[in-house]
Amino acid sequence: MSTLTTIDGELLIFNSQLNKTSLISAELNEVLNNLQEASEELDTETFNLAISELTKQGLVISTT
């Protein structure tokens, strides 16, 4: 899994396992960032898990 923050503040995620790319809106990305900052336990793995969960819930803008 690799990520890229766009200059517009959105988050692009590439899942190499599934060969899928997802886009997370700037608003949601900010929420995620705040969450990550607020909780020290939120490591990358949990973060990735949260993102795949969000993808499943359809909260991600679009996925290839």
Partner 1 sequence: MTRDHEAFVTYRAGRFNFRLFTSISRLKETVSQIYAPLDPDNIVDFEIAVQPQRWYRPQVTFKFQQTEPFLPLPANQAYPLLEWGMNWCVTQHCHQYLIIHAAVLEKNNKVIILPGSPGSGKSTLSAALCLLDGWNLLSDEMALVDTTSGLVFPSPRPISLKNASIDIVSQFPCAKQITPSVKDTTKGTVAHLVAPCHRSFSIDQGYPAVAVVFPTYTPTSTCNRLNPITVGNSFMRLIENSFNYHILRQVGFDALGQLANACGHYTYPNNGNFSESFALLNELIR
Interface ranges with partner 1 (CB under 8 A): 2, 4, 6-8, 10-12, 14, 16, 19, 21, 23-26, 61-62, 64
Q: In the complex with partner 1, which residue's Cβ is closer, 21 or 44?
A: 21
Burial call 25-52: b when 16+ CB within 10 Å, e when fewer: beebbeebeeeeeeeeeeeeeebeeebe
Q: How far is the CB of 53 from partner 1 (least distance, A)?
A: 20
Rg (CA), the chain: 11
Q: In the complex with partner 1, which residue's Cβ is closer, 7 or 38?
A: 7
